[in-house]
Structure 1
């Protein structure tokens, strides 16, 4: 019975997994994710995230607010922005940097500020957006490198990419002012690409902007999300290059994103998380959004399906969380990625597909094999029992037939004398009749003589 229960459980899990793999991703689940995240934020999830990640507090509130912007929820997005503008939001960053608190803090905060402003006019918010945009533009214009520092002596190109995108958003929402700043930034970026990949590097020298490390999946997945809103043509070339070097199908079981380019390996860190088979789960989740804004609906859909399968989502009528909700910042990245769309540029045409239409088959075959292996012992046991029953039945039938043949032989042996006696009796009777008949003739003859 226990084997049967196990086989049934494996079958149900396989059917559920297959359904999640082939059914179009349900984007309505974002509402449940945000309900879960709001409850977690109220319980101190941002403070806990800060203890695990250098920018955990800011990321959790920023991503929650950005996803709420996508849903048109002004009040929730404005609430998240207000949390970033507190001392707790600025605490990890240095006020001595240019711009103040560094490009990471200013870039993400300004992007969210512009998003909230795009939903509803707000004079005070507009003044803040104009002031922070001007501060960012002045810092870029004065810098010899396109990459501003996020921390003293440290610069990541991804942070400056977000900040430049916020200037492009400014020029869409308000009278344009920063086209020259953006153009100079793009020129500087093209001159300082990672020579190994042709992509924006992961880290650079904060003084010269020269690459100090190879491009990596965790930063590229965010860079590709924002480049579309800066320069769509440059973004398309960068996205296709990124896709060819980082998007893989480990064990041929589905799309995932490597932390290091194909053919290169490196250590994991707090940003990438563990790297099974070289794959970064965080980069894979964020690439869902990058693919969506790039118009790559096939890859975005495949990553969403894969996330529904491997992310082990838990849903209730009121909320949804992945991996049992043990890491809310992961849910925040997923929610932000699922709601992705360009904010400045028009929707992008789809690139050539990177996956075949049969990419799910190996995983479905693996699920079918798991079901077969679960049921195989029961099938063998039943087949053995049936064979044993057949042999026993055949033996019993042989014994019965033998018994019937023996009984028939006995009956034939007993019936032999009776059949032998019957002719003798008949002859005797016939002879008796003959004698009686002869006697009768004699009597009649005597009577005639008389």
Structure 2
């Protein structure tokens, strides 16, 4: 009886895993993820994340709010999503949200803080007009534009003496969002930024670099998966044509199939290795799990449906999600910020402009076959002792 129960359990698990591998993207599960994240935020998850890396607090609230905005954009009545997104925005604008950043930077508190906060502010405004929020959005956008216009580099500092192109990409996207929602003002700023970016691409990859000299914007390191996955998410809303060329370069250099299995994203370009850090996490076979999760959203906004679906299916299998009637979490909910990135990525769509769909990746449906075969084999092995006993009884 115990063997029979174990065999049934293994078979059910194999069937569930197989379904996760082939089923359409589970956008509906985002509501459960957000319910889990709200409970975690109420219990202090953002403060705990801040202890793990310098942007943990801001990222957790920002991604929760942005995922709510994404859900609200498809809702007939987004009242709940507006309320939750505004609640998240209020946490970013509170002293605790600004605490890790320097008020002496230009713009105040740096481009990382201002860019993500302004993007969320514009997202909330896109769901429901609000005069006070509009004034805040206009003021923050004007401060960002003035900082970019006055800078010799297209990349503003996030911390004193430190600049990452990904942060300025988010901020420039917020200016494009401003010109979509309100009377346009910043086309010149965006054009100058793109010109400066094209002049300072990473010579090894042709992509935006990971870090730059804060004074000149000259690359100081090659492109990396953790920043590229976010850059590709936002470039579409800045310049769709430039975004398409950058996305194709990123996909060719960073999207791989380790051990000939499912798609994943390297932290360093193919043919190059480097150390792991707090952003990338561990790098088994050179793959960054965080970059892989975020690339799901980048592929979606780029119109790369085949890769987006493959990454979503792969995540449903390897992320071992646990669902209840009220919530959903990945990896047993041990890292809420990971759930926040997944929820934000699963709801991704362009806010300003859509890029022409890229040619499909070199990825057929057959990549799932080794996993399905392994699951079928596990179920067969679970039943094999019972099959042998049954055969022996019949022969006897």
TM-score normalised according to structure 2 size: 0.94
Query: Aligned-pair distance for 1:116?
Result: 0.8
What is the alpha-carbon distance in structure 2 between the residues aligned to residue 264 and residue 375 of structure 1?
A: 45
State which structure, 1 or 2, has the greater radius of gyration over its C-alpha atoms.
Answer: 1
- Consecutive unaligned residues of structure 2, counting only runs of 5 or more, are 73-80
Cα gap change, 1:30/1:347 in structure 2, threshold over 3 Å: closer, same or farther? farther
CA contact (8 A) 1:293 1:348 kept: no
Q: Secondary structure at the match of 2:366?
A: coil
CA RMSD, 1 decimal = 1.5
What is the alpha-carbon distance in structure 1 between the residues aligned to residue 158 and residue 143 of structure 2?
A: 15
Query: Aligned-pair distance for 1:364?
Result: 1.1
What is the alpha-carbon distance in structure 1 between the residues aligned to residue 329 and residue 374 of structure 2?
A: 26
State the match for 1:422 in structure 2. none
What is the alpha-carbon distance in structure 2 between the residues aligned to residue 383 and residue 249 of structure 1?
A: 41
Higher share of residues assigned helix: 1
Query: Aligned-pair distance for 1:353?
Result: 3.3
Choose the corresponding residue for 1:74, options 60, 76, 82: 82
Query: Aligned-pair distance for 1:210?
Result: 1.2
What is the alpha-carbon distance in structure 2 between the residues aligned to residue 355 and residue 280 of structure 1?
A: 19
What is the alpha-carbon distance in structure 1 between the residues aligned to residue 189 and residue 122 of structure 2?
A: 18
Choose the corresponding residue for 1:369, options 345, 352, 377: 377
- Consecutive unaligned residues of structure 1, counting only runs of 5 or more, are 390-450
Q: Secondary structure at the match of 1:133?
A: helix
TM-score normalised according to structure 1 size: 0.83
Count, aligned residues: 388
Choose the corresponding residue for 2:119, options 94, 99, 111: 111
The structure showing larger relative contact order (alpha-carbon pairs under 8 Å, at least 6 residues apart) is 2
Query: Aligned-pair distance for 1:182?
Result: 0.7
Choose the corresponding residue for 2:321, options 284, 289, 313: 313
Query: Aligned-pair distance for 1:205?
Result: 1.1
Q: Please identify, of 36-45 and 378-387, the stretch whose mean Cα deviation from structure 2 is larger.
A: 378-387
CA contact (8 A) 1:299 1:354 kept: no
State the match for 1:8 in structure 2. 8
What is the alpha-carbon distance in structure 2 between the residues aligned to residue 124 and residue 97 of structure 1?
A: 25
Q: Secondary structure at the match of 1:359?
A: helix
Residue-by-residue CA offset, 1:320-340 (whole Å, 9 max, x unaligned): 111111111111111111111
State the match for 1:162 in structure 2. 170
State the match for 1:24 in structure 2. 24
CA contact (8 A) 1:295 1:351 kept: no
State the match for 1:407 in structure 2. none
Query: Aligned-pair distance for 1:380?
Result: 4.7
What is the alpha-carbon distance in structure 2 between the residues aligned to residue 369 and residue 80 of structure 1?
A: 46
State the match for 1:273 in structure 2. 281
CA contact (8 A) 1:218 1:272 kept: yes
What is the alpha-carbon distance in structure 1 between the residues aligned to residue 55 and residue 257 of structure 2?
A: 30
State the match for 1:45 in structure 2. 45
CA contact (8 A) 1:217 1:246 kept: yes
State the match for 1:353 in structure 2. 361
Q: Please identify, of 304-313 and 377-386, the stretch whose mean Cα deviation from structure 2 is larger.
A: 377-386
What is the alpha-carbon distance in structure 2 between the residues aligned to residue 136 and residue 358 of structure 1?
A: 47
Residue-by-residue CA offset, 1:111-157 (whole Å, 9 max, x unaligned): 01111111111111111111111111111111111111100111110
Choose the corresponding residue for 2:107, options 96, 99, 104: 99
Q: Secondary structure at the match of 1:360?
A: helix
What is the alpha-carbon distance in structure 1 between the residues aligned to residue 130 and residue 394 of structure 2?
A: 79
Q: Please identify, of 208-217 and 357-366, the stretch whose mean Cα deviation from structure 2 is larger.
A: 357-366
Residue-by-residue CA offset, 1:301-348 (whole Å, 9 max, x unaligned): 111111111111111111111111111111111111111111110364
